[in-house]
Each structure stands twice: as C-alpha cells, then as structure tokens.
Chains A and B, each alone.
Chain A
Amino acid sequence: MTAIQISVFLENKSGRLAEVTRALANAGVNIRALSLAETIDYGVLRLIVDKPKEAKAALTQAGFTVSETEVIAVEMPDRPGGLAEIVGMLTKRGLNIEYLYAFVGQRGENAVVIIRIDTIPEAIAALQTGGARVLSAAELSGI
C-alpha cells in the first residue's frame, strides 16, 4: 500500500527546475504534487507523478540524479484539523515522520498527504487503525 515518489537532486543553478519540468512534459508525464527541500547549495525535488517509471527514465536520460522513494499517500478530509488528525495517528505511536507534503485532489472534498517515514508497515497500520484511507499506487496515479 505504498506509492512511489520520484526524487531529483538539483544544484542551485538557474534553469534546473525548468529543465526537469520540460523533460517530464516531453515524456508526457503529469505532475500531481511536488515539494522542494533546499539548502544553500542544492535542493531535492520530490515529485508525485502519474507515470513514475516513465518519469524516472526521462529524467535519468536528461542527466539528472534520480531516485525512487517509497512513500505513503493518505486521504484526509479537506478541512481545518484534517492534517492534525493524520499526524496525530503517527506521533501517538511514537513514529517519526521524515517529511510530508499535501495536495488537494481534483474530485470531492478530500486532500491527499504524502508521508515519508522509515517505519512504513507500522505507519500504515497506525493510519488504518485510526480510520484513515491509505491510497495504493494505482489509486494515486488515477487521481
């Protein structure tokens, strides 16, 4: 029940982000969500896309350093307190989140949060016990 996130190492140079998006566009890959973590010298771009395999191939081809990361995608109610509930389910069990980011889907009232965590099975169990809906890779791609 995990999803694949595409991570790209980017130096802080002008135009790099544009090159990533161009490479994905040329490969017909649609970006669902993204987050950028940055330091002074470099950044890590994290992408949720509709076609992870194609995305990785296209970016590698274009000369980027790309890796696949296993993440958890969880549906959450798009209202105040929605994210707090999800995070609460994990922290209550002492599970430590590495990072997360969220996006609002195209249908319905629900948003999706992407969670990167070291203890994936425990986290999924905690979320499901708490009543959250964990999305499969197929469901995520279908959004």
Chain B
Amino acid sequence: MPESTPSWNREIEFMDPAALRELQSKRLRAAVKRAYTRVPHYRAKLDAAGVKPSQIKSIKDIHLLPFTTKDDLRETYPFGMFAVPMEEVVRIHASSGTTGKSIVVGYTRKDVATWAEVMARTLAAGGTHRGDVLQNSYGYGLFTGGLGAHYGAELIGASVIPTSGGQTQRQVQIMQDFGATVLCCTPSYALVIAEAGREMGVDWEKMPLRVGFFGAEPWSQTMRAEIENALKVHALDIYGLSEIIGPGVGFECLQKNGLHLNEDHFYPEVINPETGQPVVPGERGEVVFTAFTKEALPLLRYRTRDLTRFIPEPCPCGRSLRRMERVTGRSDDMLIIRGVNVFPSQIEQVLMGVEGTTPNYLLVVDRKPRQMDELEVQVEVSPERFSDEIAKLEAVADRIRSGIESILGLHVTVRLVEPKTLERSMGKAKRVVDRRDLGK
C-alpha cells in the first residue's frame, strides 16, 4: 500500500479482501437475525420469501434475502422499521416523500458514531486532517448532509464552521476571514460560491482552500474540471443516501476515479433493475446496499434506484474497498435537485388541487453555468378555465409555485403553456427533461 495515501482507518480501508468477506459474513448473519426478531415487517417479508435467518451463513447467501424498498419505509411510517426501542434512538432525520409522507431514518448513539467514522474516512481520503478549517455548507436540519459531514469532520479534529447553505457573500467572507482549507457543499453551490467570490474580488488562487467534498446531487467530470478551475481545489465526489446512513456510503480518493464504498458497514451489490439478478461485475445496474451494522434501522438489500457499475480494477491508492462509478442515472423517475428528492407524482398532486390547469405537465431541470440547479414546471392551461386576464393567469401560476414550494421546500419556476404542447404518448407521458450535463 502506498504510504503516501491519506486515510483514516488503514486497518479497514486496506483490509485483505478475504478477511473483509469474513467480517461482512459475520455482520450479515447478525443483522438478519436482529431484523427478523425485532422488526415484524422484516419477519413477514422473510417468511413470505420462505427464508430463515439460519440459511444466511455467509455474505454469498445475501441474494436469498428479499429486497427492501422505499415502499417498505413508507408503509411502516414513521418508526415501523426501527429495530430498537425509541429510548435508544438519539437522532431522527427525514427526507421528502412522494405522497406527503417522508422517509424517516433513526440512529442510535452507535449509529451516529458509525456515521462519523465513515465520514471521517471520506474527508481523510481527500487529505483532511487535524488543524484543517472545514466550512460545511451542506444544509443542517432534517437533511442528512449537514450533520453527517459535521460529525465526521469533528472526529478527525478539523475546526468545523457550520455555515449551512445560503447567504453566499457571507460564506465567502467567512471563508476568507477564517482561512477555510476544506469545503463541503453541493457541486452546484460550489460554483455559486466561486462566482460570488470573484465578484467580491477574491483571488481563489491565493485562498488557503485546498479540497472540496461535493455530493447530494448528480454531477459530471466536466463540472469537476469547472469547480477545480474556479476554486483552485481538488474536487471530490461523495455518495450517500439517508436510508443507508446519509453521506459517507462512498467516497473518492485523490485518484478521482470512482467512489470507494465503506463496505464493512454497507454491503454493495449491483443488480439488473428489471430482473433483480446481479449483473456481471463491471456491468451497469442499480446499486443495492445492506446496512448491516446499523442498529436503529438495519436495511437488508435496499434498492437505491441509483444506476452505476463496479470498477473491477484495483485502485492505485491501495484501498481494497471496492469502487463504484459516479452515479449517472436513476431506475425510477426521481430527480435530485439541490439535494432535494423530487418525484413527478408530488407535482401532479399539487396540480390536481389548482383550478385552471390540466394535469399535463413537464419538469425541466437545468443547470446554467455557475448557477444552482433550476426546476421549471411547465403546466398546460385548461381550455375550460382559461382566463383572459394576465393577473388571474399569474395567480394560477403562483398557486402552483407556492404549492410545490411548500411540499418540496424547493424554489421552482412555473411556466404556463398551451394545451397539447406537452408531448403525449400512448403509454406513459414524458414528464421529465433533464438538461443537466450528467455524463461522465
């Protein structure tokens, strides 16, 4: 292993693969047993699939287990999948859901420690160390981004500035005055910060900022180059989702070639989303995780709907933790915009409550240079309820806008369009146009 590779937990990150499989087998056995005895929903699922916990002897048996999906979490909203009594839950986070119900995740004290550990590995892989000043511009709150990065950075011993998102000029000022060396935020916000700095006369070349950890929304290699060029930093991709733990599921090392997965905690599989069967290693498919060390919310074969592939070649950094390619798509219609999960059905729900429109709509996601992702909702005007007064039409657009904003907590633009302008097909109408450059 190259001695120069910065890391947090050498024992795990560079572990002998056979020993790692042994550790995973042990943890899987324990997790299945615990889920079966403590969570009625899991017991019912395993019984229905005809699987007994005793059949799961090693990690190779994982394919016997049924998948877990967002629907399982929704059906058991809010705490039905928790495997511990509430007295042991020290933290609850939630993300937006499709039907008004959010996806709720809980953590025991040990889970919070696990989270800090995997985020420490993430941040250390980019060279973050004690003495670094880390500006954390991920949102703090129900969203897992802010607190996830926070605890990992504190564990390392970096000085954390919990700026959260927004107030960009102030962010730049703080960065300058406090001498931030590390930045955590969404990739599109990194470009907003860069631009704001330039306007304020900041010479990014002279700033002590060294590395940034960007995630919570899809981005591309082109965007990496843009961020690195604008902020004069190493721009690293991070991966995670609330259900599994939050940020910290996967991280890039300074090779910048794929995300190492913290597979001692989150066992990854890549499956064919249609058949549910594993794909040939290296082939694209949907990544599925088993969070076998999580106490509060153990997840067995959780379908992320994120499309990616394993990178079978060993990484020059020396880590044995497997790598996956950056996520480049979804196997469902969910959009991730500025860290917010958006399902077209949520928009539909709002439209049904607003008179003067039809349920025909199109979501257009765009990312203009140096700007945050934007969501435009195009809605067809109803011929029956069309008003010839601009003020009334604008009021309709406003009602849609505020309805969506209150459900998603996301600012959107609403554009009224002529009926039948939106593409229709015999089957499912096309509801989403994603103009962001999300290629590799």
Contact = CB atoms under 8 A, between A and B. Distances in A.
B388 A65 contact: no
A65 B419 contact: yes
A119 interface: no
Contacts of A65: 381-383, 386, 418-419
Contacts of B387: 67
Contacts of A41: 415-417
A39 interface: yes
Given A9-B381, A11-B421, A65-B383, A98 B416 contact: no
B358 to A, nearest CB: 10
Chain B, interface size category, equals 10 to 19
Interface string A71-100: 000000000000000000000000000110
B420 interface: yes
Contact of B386 (A5, A7, A116): A7
Given A65-B383, A66-B383, A10 B390 contact: no
Nearest to A41: B415
Interface string B405-423: 0000000000111111100
Residue among A10, A42, A66 having the largest count of chain B Cβ atoms under 10 Å = A42
B161 interface: no
A11, A64, A69 pick with most chain B CB within 10 angstroms: A11
B389 interface: yes
Contacts of B419: 63, 65
Which secondary structure dominates chain A's binding surface? strand
A23 interface: no
A44 interface: yes
Contacts of B192: none
Given A9-B381, A65-B381, A65-B383, A39 B417 contact: no
Contacts of A46: 388
B420 A63 contact: yes
Given A9-B386, A44-B390, A64 B416 contact: no
Given A9-B386, A65-B419, A39 B394 contact: yes
B393 interface: yes
Given A9-B381, A11-B421, A39-B394, A69 B416 contact: no
Nearest to B414: A41
Interface in B338-366: none
A125 interface: no
Interface of B: 381-383, 386-391, 393-394, 415-421
18 contacts: A7-B386, A9-B381, A9-B416, A9-B418, A10-B418, A41-B417, A42-B415, A46-B388, A60-B383, A63-B418, A64-B418, A65-B383, A65-B386, A65-B419, A67-B386, A67-B387, A67-B388, A69-B388
